[in-house]
Structure 1
Amino acid sequence: MLSASEFVPVTRIAGDHPVNSPQSPRRGLPTHSSPRVDPSNGQRSSSRLVGARRSMARRLGILAAAGLVAASLLTPVSAGAAVASPDGLSQATAAASCWEIKQLTPAAPSGVYWLNTPKLGSAAQFHCDQDTDGGGWVLVGRGRDGWSEANEGQGTTAEVRGSVTGQAAFAPRQLSTGVIGALLNGQPVKSLPDGIRLRRAANLDGTAWQESRFTFSSPRDEWSWMFNNEQRVAVWRIGSSSGSGGQTSAFGAGNQLDRIETVTGANQGWKAGFGYGTGARGSADPASYMWAPSSTAGNPRPFTQVYLRPQMMSSTIYSAIPDTGTAKSEKPGSAESFALPTGWGVSGLGAGPNTVEGSVEVSAFAEGNGVVYVGGNFLTVQKTAAGGSQVAQSYLAAFDVRTGEFITSFRPTFDKQIKALAVLPDGRVAAGGFFTQVNGAPRAGLVVLNPTTGATDTTFTTTITNSLSGGVPIVRALDVQDSWLYVGGTFTHMTGGSVTSPVYVRAGGRVSVTNGTPDRTWNPEFNGSVIALDASPKKDRVYFAGYFTASKTTPADKGAALSAVDTSVIPWTIDHSSTANYQQAVKEVGEKVWIGGSEHNLYSYDRAGMTETSTNIGKSGGDFQAISSDGTTVYAGCHCFYTNYSGARRWPSIGTDWTQATKISSAGAWDNATGKPATQFSPIVSQRAGAGAWALFNDSTGVTWFGGDYSASVRSTLAKQWSGGFVRFAHNDTQAPSTPSGLSVTPSSTGDVLKWTGSTDNRGAVSYQVLRHDRVVATTGAGTVTLPAADAGTKYFVRAADGTGNWSASTPAAVVAAPAEPQPEQVTFVNTGATWAYSFSQTAPPAGWQAPGYDASTWSTGAAPLGWGHAQLGTTLTSPEPRPLTSFYRKSFNVADVTKVAMMTLTTRADDGIVVYVNGVEVLRRNINAGAVTSTTYANMAVSATSAVANPVTVSVPGSAFTTGANVIAVEVHSNYRSTPSHSFELSAVSQ
């Protein structure tokens, strides 16, 4: 399925003109806005392409129905034929591949075509090279230096197919892994007979070009833009040279142009690309087709086009839809790859140990009372990299779990860093670390705080000591389970609560959550420090990871599972390298136990028998050091930024038995059930010193928090933002919209009129995909569409799609019926751009403002759209600060004869939340929680103005809701937060 950035919008593809705009291409003809392509690729210039396509269009007879375009249809189907020829010239005639177009129409020129597969769902446009080596190649990426190695790719499908060569195409644009996988319809990348094709500039001015091909011998099911790793090459042809073997990081012949090197480091200016050998030279000139940071640097990055050639035909990938319709399709759950907008972060380095890895800004999270507590080695809390709104708050701070807002009332003081946090059952906050003073008083390693103020809780009196060499007690791990606070770190004794004499509990122990009384009967007695622990939710065992090799006299090599009753050791053999010095993360998730640590390992084990179920090795980079889970997806953090090798067991030589090479950037995700990487999660982050994720946390709202030395992240707009110490990722949308219903098909003089009752979705607006026979032929945002007439007995289906690639089940089949009687003309009662009375002030209107009889004569008036934060406004709303959360609107109109109004469709937008009333009765609510609504009610999601306009909200109101004579529509629009960048409203009312 397509991700949010990949899904084809309802009325517009990014970069294209809206339907029926004066600039829209003629129906049935592909667009020709691309610049002239380089003749050395055998592609035709723009003017020749137009002529060739028009000639082909006439030959194929696709212009016959040109006058039957429906306003709500993205691209109409061709008339009459039961199944149109897949020529790629319209959405309805989309082909399975560029290859199919070339096989069916040998004269087809290179250019932009519509492609569709069952995995894509609805058609989208891509650039096809129909000239090179028999044609049939689809362009999946192009650019010079600075390629993205993330699965999210870079840019939109429109940008990839837009500028395909020339200096305008130097900035890389790449399809996402999801889109490429859908173009392959799930076919493994390794099985492509033509492998991967690179077309690279071979000189500085772009007048010479080189063709390359290579295939894989190592496993490669899913596409990945990460080539700087140990994926094994089977055979290759680079220019005039050919051979076999090598790894995708560097292979080929010699050290000049007959070589492909994707190694990325300081010598390459840290810019990824499909480089030449170390002996080749480029130029830093912005106009150079072969970029290098200097004229003496090797591995220049040439402008490159990346092509694939899936040889698929529609007849082999599609099958007829049963009369019951299609099943729903929902994306697997994980955090979204793009970060939430940064509100607050932390900055500065405190008095932690002087190591890059051990003293990061954020190393602990815990949640309680609607608050996320963030601990680490930071000094300040602030909003920007430059220190905006900076507050001096060291080592521990509190943030609202829903908004990320800094909570100023929680102000504890520490002298050194926090390494562990836990919230006790009554809400108090336990903190562990390297500190020796808390709130101005001596307190070494462990303290419990008031959750609101951060004051020291004097009723919790646990004191830890360390009688070993050095004598400094350190707490690195905390967890709460079954009335116990479990503690791990470097210490030997505890006192507290009702125990006044030291209790021997070496490196691990537990104390009462009430007053901190140590359990003198529960002593793991590890012979080395504990770095991490996890008390099982099943309450029967506790897991530890660290530097130890034994618990008492029982071997426990760097990891241990102990009975929660008596600390007896549960047999567990961790098959790590003999040189592994420690394990530093452990987590039980369902029936699995995950552990990670030195030598770059992340393993999982079956809980019942503690037998190994999956292995992973990170390379290059460093060890795994944090694990969390949302219950189905496991997140693991590391100081690694290149590749995770699933199935590998040892570092540094990972061998050849690994099963999947996946991009990883400080943290990755794995499916807990299968142990396989969840490749849909591919974050793009930057860090101050590359220490990686040292704390991972899944909060109660589904958001995943990364903590470490983070300095930047990338939002869904592809904009880079400052992230201070931690980054938040929302959970992706895994819920399909509800199924449309009541689909009917009525022949008319203008074609087949399809109508249906719309769907609802958990996050916002939906679009509708109209299927005919076996595939999608149209996409619309309305509940009706008119298609050119099809043969009698043709079967239609409709399903709903959200903005993130989830599809509802479709309606059952609706069959073309006899033409219906002419329908009454639509009447517009409220136009877009109409003038509305509005109220936008610190004082909300009185109760009953929605009623027809309310006197709104003192309200302001203005033309729609009304609001702020959008370029196309009729009226801009202003008010004294603070800006009100809600704006209110009223409009009256007359209905001459209500008996002639069967239904009235209201079309509006939700930016961010909206409630609509007809004659005082609520008829529509979107992005507003159920229950009473006031002027201080927040919308439950933030929606950009662009998204709101692109995803209109419609409701069909029965005629019985109106009266003959005066009627009133009243509306209230709510923001998700007061500083929202956009807030807008517009509405039209049209009778059916």
Structure 2
Amino acid sequence: MRSFTPRALAIVLGAAAIAVVPMTPGTAEAAPPGLSAETAAPSCWAIKQQNPASPDGLYWLQTATLIAPQQFYCDQTTDGGGWVLIGRGREGWNFQYGGQGTPAEVRSTPDGTAAFRVAALPGDTVQGLLDGGRVDALADGVRIRRASTADGSVRQELRWKLADRKDWSWTFDAGHPLASATFDGAAGTGTTADTRGGTDLKRVWTTKSATKGYTRGFNFGAGVTGTSAATSYLWQYAAERNATPFAQVFIRPKLTSSDFRAVPDDGLPATTVTPLVSNRTSPTPWGVTGVVGGGTGEQNVEVQSMAVLGDTLYVGGKFEYVQRGAAGEKIPQPYLAAFDVRSGEWKPDFRPVLNGQVWDIQAAGDKIIIGGEFGDAATNTGGLAALDPATGAPVAGWSTKVSHTTLTTKALVRTLDQEGGWIYLGGTFNRISSGTPVTVGRAARVRASDGKPDGTWKPTFDGTPIELDATAERVYVGGHFSNVNGKPARKLAVLTTTSSPTQVAGLADQNWKPSTGDVQKQYRQVVREFGDRVWIGGSEHDFQAYTKDTFERVSGHITRAGGDFQAAAELDGVVYGACHCGDFVYNDASSYPTPTGWSNAHQITFIGAWDARSGAYLPNFSPILDARAGMGPWEMVADANGCLWFGGDMKAGAGGQWLGGFGRLCGTDHTAPASPSGLAVRGGVLTWGASESGARYEVLRDDRVIAVVSGTSYTDPAGGSHRYFVRAIDAAGNRSATTAVLAVEQQTVLIQDKASWRWNHDGADLGTAWREPGFDDSAWSTGQAELGFGDSDESGLIPAGQTPRPLTAYFRTTVEVADPSVYNRLLVDLVRDDGAVVYVNGTEIGRDNLPAGDIGYSTPALVGLQERADERARIRFEASAGLLVPGTNTIAVEVHQANAWSADLSFALGLTATG
């Protein structure tokens, strides 16, 4: 007789049971927090509070905002511990929201000369560590630990307590305000760009400077020197002094919990990343170069206009050549050229002949319409033309021109837009003709089909319109004007599209807020309606979003240094704004040159991205671009392939990729992968069907992710009763919908499949006493399941004997249970050939392939099992765990043959208790 002490946890679904971790019920100790993904803690602080002996090192952290557990380096020593390292390095900090290096570099090499190359966590990860908390709510602020000696043996502790800052930003060089600052406990003053504590050793400045080769870091004052040695903890660019030390950046969110929401049984929906275009330019084999007539400034850039029609990109401006690559052939083709929108190859069949700059282009179905400074200089007419989109030849019968009767400068069309069969235009002209001249006041509209002017839509501007955007009900106009139709219009007007247009009252005339009080510097170069928002930008470095209906300001942004906005485009719910800017965008700011009321600052280089609905700046978009004269893009247009084209005096993209006046940034993956299928328990692990090539999988237990795996299986070391879900995540961070719930419960194996049993097959009728506790089975034989004969797979062989054989075989075992009350159900998995009845402590809990009613020694099974699959099938019974008693419990089984001539007999049984 054998007793068995339960020592295993299992998880099951349906009829499958699998052992996971050896453990005695009720004796498991909770794993220390943070030592595995499954036990991730909400913060380094929480780990330190629960286990004060926690040493410095790597720990797993997780918040609801962070989503999946990740490893971080925790300083558990300084000032009570609980600090998480978010960046480290010597010179070369870029202070970009996307971080530097990799998170693995940050955590695995926190200190030493190998850590000199800067690595910093992405801003989204830092936000995740804050779990929705404000940066200015960090009680201990931002901690910077920097070396103050060349050998790194002495470190200084700098603390910044940021003022009025909700979200994280790495742009310390933008000058974030401080509520307080200390150097080794002594007070300092200033901003994150320059903090001073009275001595050169107690100073930190983070801005770029020519004296340091524009290499940024957490620099000391001028009295602290360093060297250029690779191993020095104090680096110096040349003879500028102001040593740049090796520095570590920590924060200490004192989170002890996170709000993980319960996952419904049908799972979670798919989520996708913000559909930004790439930060890296796609190849453009051709470009445009040279500026006709030379010249400098904003009026003399290579590209001023772009449009897409079908598979063709049209590029206009003041360029002189089309050019293949940085050092390839240059072919004269001034002012206007065409390129394949997919390959970027030049289209040499499109060869328009123009004698002046192209300021704007509109694709109008079977033609392209251009506006600019070309035309007949003697009569001061021209400025407008319709061209064949394949050849560039003028469209027959379309000969509309503009002119100016009093100005000595050339008449020109500066801006175009198409709406409802009309081409709207603005510029420097007071007549427009397609036969009989029509007197106008710097704006007009003509039929797209034949160019005939509308003699009734004639607003009069007292200055030049620079940009217009026509919709079905409105025409937005920005420029240098101060009045429209004799009524005030401060550089921005919203007009009706009806005959005799008037300003739409209560919109721009009342509500738009310029960034400067100098009216002459309020002119608008961008005005575009995207959805229910109107975006405007221009002089004095501002870019603002307003509601369409009431023109209430949604958001405002100021760039510096540099920064007038010049173009805007919308793609996939993101607004891209272009400016001649290369430093910072101050969000929620409203004034220039000194931004006030700003909530945060991020980097911007020529193009920024904003959420089209909320107006929020999207700092993960930060392309690397360079411009010949720093003018940046003056036009942007999206194509049908998800790419954003931009043109100006652009000369290089990421990695120094050559750009000839224009370039493109193509869409990133923002499509959710397919959901995994068939989540189940197989062979001791959770398994599921693959989603797509290259996908990883997040395993959710109850309300949170506990693991990210590259395969399609996972074993949870925790065991216990849980709800599981799995979803796919791709390289871009898009997540599929999860599977539906897989309910899993803790189970204790009481009898294993291959347990040892007492058995009797001698042909005696044992009545009913044999199945009761206390029955003396000491004379019975003993064997390991599977027991039986005739199938050659038995572990315990029962002699078959001669036919006719006994109809019934008896089996007994016992199991020790200390406390039956911890269990709810009993699960029996039975192998039988042919029929069987199972008893627990003398009470029947199930039978199979036997008739109802009393079962006797001579009762045959209902059916003789012939198929191998039927003989091997496991039959599941369930019973109340209330049948168990403290101490010894008896399990008894009688197996019946269909007849006395049966050639085989099989028996095995597994018993599991759920708790």
Q: TM-score, normalised by structure 2?
A: 0.74
Q: 1:240 to 1:399 in 2, by over 3 A?
A: same
Which residue of the other structure, out of 454, 459, 470, is the alignment partner of 1:519? 454
**Deviation of the 1:480 alpha carbon:** 1.0
> Aligned residue for 1:484?
422
Which residue of the other structure, out of 93, 113, 129, is the alignment partner of 1:167? 113
1:826-837 matches, within 5 Å, as: none
Aligned residues: 725
Q: Is the 8 A contact 2:193 2:207 kept in 1?
A: yes
Q: What amino acid maps onto 1:308 in structure 2?
A: I
Q: 1:789 to 1:185 in 2, by over 3 A?
A: closer
> Aligned residue for 2:740?
812
Equivalent-residue separation in structure 1 for 2:261 and 2:550 (angstroms)? 44
Q: 1:308 to 1:628 in 2, by over 3 A?
A: same
**Deviation of the 1:420 alpha carbon:** 1.1
1:285-326 CA-to-partner distances (Å, cap 9, x unmatched) read 44443334321x25443222111222223x444455443433
Equivalent-residue separation in structure 2 for 1:740 and 1:609 (angstroms)? 46
Equivalent-residue separation in structure 2 for 1:83 and 1:770 (angstroms)? 23
Q: What amino acid maps onto 2:130 in structure 1?
A: L
1:795-874 matches, within 5 Å, as: 795-816=723-744
Q: Is the 8 A contact 1:639 1:690 kept in 2?
A: yes
The answer to whether residue 711 in structure 2 is matched with residue 782 in structure 1 is yes
> Secondary structure at 1:621's aligned position in 2?
strand
Q: Is the 8 A contact 2:292 2:334 kept in 1?
A: no
1:376-387 matches, within 5 Å, as: 376-382=317-323, 384=325, 386-387=326-327
The answer to whether residue 566 in structure 2 is matched with residue 616 in structure 1 is no
Q: What amino acid maps onto 2:711 in structure 1?
A: A
The answer to whether residue 449 in structure 2 is matched with residue 449 in structure 1 is no
1:412-431 matches, within 5 Å, as: 412-426=352-366, 428-431=367-370
Deviates more, 1:132-141 or 1:104-113: 104-113
Which residue of the other structure, out of 465, 468, 473, is the alignment partner of 1:540? 473
1:171-215 CA-to-partner distances (Å, cap 9, x unmatched) read 222221122222222322222211111112223443432111101
1:760-792 CA-to-partner distances (Å, cap 9, x unmatched) read 5xxx6422111223332332333333444713x
Which residue of the other structure, out of 752, 755, 760, is the alignment partner of 2:687? 755
Q: What amino acid maps onto 1:681 in structure 2?
A: F
Q: 1:240 to 1:310 in 2, by over 3 A?
A: closer
1:196-275 matches, within 5 Å, as: 196-218=142-164, 220-239=165-184, 241-244=186-189, 246-254=190-198, 256-275=200-219
Q: What amino acid maps onto 1:256 in structure 2?
A: D
Equivalent-residue separation in structure 1 for 2:419 and 2:387 (angstroms)? 18
Q: Is the 8 A contact 1:350 1:417 kept in 2?
A: no
Q: 1:477 to 1:306 in 2, by over 3 A?
A: same
Deviates more, 1:614-623 or 1:395-404: 395-404
Which residue of the other structure, out of 248, 257, 270, is the alignment partner of 1:305? 248
1:700-743 CA-to-partner distances (Å, cap 9, x unmatched) read 222222322222233xxxx4533332332233433323333332
Equivalent-residue separation in structure 2 for 1:257 and 1:228 (angstroms)? 19
Q: Is the 8 A contact 1:351 1:415 kept in 2?
A: no
Q: Is the 8 A contact 1:256 1:280 kept in 2?
A: yes
**Deviation of the 1:696 alpha carbon:** 2.0
Q: What amino acid maps onto 2:662 in structure 1?
A: F
Q: What amino acid maps onto 1:359 in structure 2?
A: N
> Aligned residue for 1:348?
289
1:588-607 matches, within 5 Å, as: 588-607=529-548
Deviates more, 1:338-347 or 1:812-821: 812-821
The answer to whether residue 670 in structure 2 is matched with residue 731 in structure 1 is no
Q: 1:669 to 1:802 in 2, by over 3 A?
A: same
> Aligned residue for 1:290?
234
> Secondary structure at 1:469's aligned position in 2?
coil
**Deviation of the 1:800 alpha carbon:** 1.5
Quote the sequence identity (%): 40
> Aligned residue for 2:615?
675
Larger Rg: 2
Equivalent-residue separation in structure 1 for 2:154 and 2:48 (angstroms)? 26
Equivalent-residue separation in structure 2 for 1:403 and 1:104 (angstroms)? 59
Equivalent-residue separation in structure 1 for 2:709 and 2:600 (angstroms)? 38
Equivalent-residue separation in structure 1 for 2:525 and 2:28 (angstroms)? 62
How much is the aligned-residue C-alpha RMSD, in angstroms? 3.1
1:651-690 matches, within 5 Å, as: 651-655=592-596, 657-690=597-630
Equivalent-residue separation in structure 1 for 2:404 and 2:667 (angstroms)? 42
1:29-54 CA-to-partner distances (Å, cap 9, x unmatched) read xxxxxxxxxxxxxxxxxxxxxxxxxx
Q: What amino acid maps onto 2:112 in structure 1?
A: G
Q: 1:816 to 1:609 in 2, by over 3 A?
A: closer
Which residue of the other structure, out of 676, 683, 701, is the alignment partner of 1:772? 701
1:353-364 matches, within 5 Å, as: 354-364=295-305
**Deviation of the 1:481 alpha carbon:** 1.0
Q: Is the 8 A contact 1:86 1:94 kept in 2?
A: no
1:823-849 CA-to-partner distances (Å, cap 9, x unmatched) read xxxxxxxxxxxxxxxxxxxxxxxxxxx
Equivalent-residue separation in structure 2 for 1:454 and 1:799 (angstroms)? 52
Q: Is the 8 A contact 1:217 1:234 kept in 2?
A: yes
Q: Is the 8 A contact 2:582 2:606 kept in 1?
A: yes
> Secondary structure at 1:379's aligned position in 2?
strand
Equivalent-residue separation in structure 2 for 1:344 and 1:641 (angstroms)? 25
Equivalent-residue separation in structure 1 for 2:687 and 2:323 (angstroms)? 53
Equivalent-residue separation in structure 2 for 1:518 and 1:116 (angstroms)? 64
> Secondary structure at 2:192's aligned position in 1?
coil
Q: 1:323 to 1:369 in 2, by over 3 A?
A: closer
Could you tell me which runs of 5 or more consecutive residues in structure 2 were left unpaired when the two chains were aligned.
Answer: 1-6, 9-18, 755-867, 870-915
> Aligned residue for 2:632?
692
> Secondary structure at 2:739's aligned position in 1?
coil
**Deviation of the 1:389 alpha carbon:** 5.7
Equivalent-residue separation in structure 1 for 2:294 and 2:488 (angstroms)? 30
Q: 1:472 to 1:287 in 2, by over 3 A?
A: farther
| Larger strand share, 1 or 2 | 2
Equivalent-residue separation in structure 2 for 1:124 and 1:495 (angstroms)? 68
Equivalent-residue separation in structure 2 for 1:323 and 1:663 (angstroms)? 43
Which residue of the other structure, out of 499, 502, 507, is the alignment partner of 1:568? 502
> Aligned residue for 2:272?
330
Q: Is the 8 A contact 1:382 1:391 kept in 2?
A: yes
Equivalent-residue separation in structure 2 for 1:552 and 1:782 (angstroms)? 69
Q: TM-score, normalised by structure 1?
A: 0.68
> Aligned residue for 1:721?
657
Equivalent-residue separation in structure 2 for 1:78 and 1:727 (angstroms)? 57
**Deviation of the 1:629 alpha carbon:** 1.3
> Aligned residue for 1:894?
none
Q: What amino acid maps onto 1:366 in structure 2?
A: A
> Aligned residue for 1:866?
none
**Deviation of the 1:86 alpha carbon:** 5.2
Q: What amino acid maps onto 1:216 in structure 2?
A: L
> Secondary structure at 1:349's aligned position in 2?
strand
The answer to whether residue 377 in structure 2 is matched with residue 433 in structure 1 is no
> Secondary structure at 1:180's aligned position in 2?
helix
> Aligned residue for 1:709?
649
Q: Is the 8 A contact 2:289 2:322 kept in 1?
A: no
Higher RCO, 1 vs 2 (CA within 8 Å, ≥6 residues apart): 2
Could you tell me which runs of 5 or more consecutive residues in structure 1 were left unpaired when the two chains were aligned.
Answer: 1-63, 66-75, 823-898, 901-992
1:574-616 CA-to-partner distances (Å, cap 9, x unmatched) read 3323312411111011122111111212222222233333322
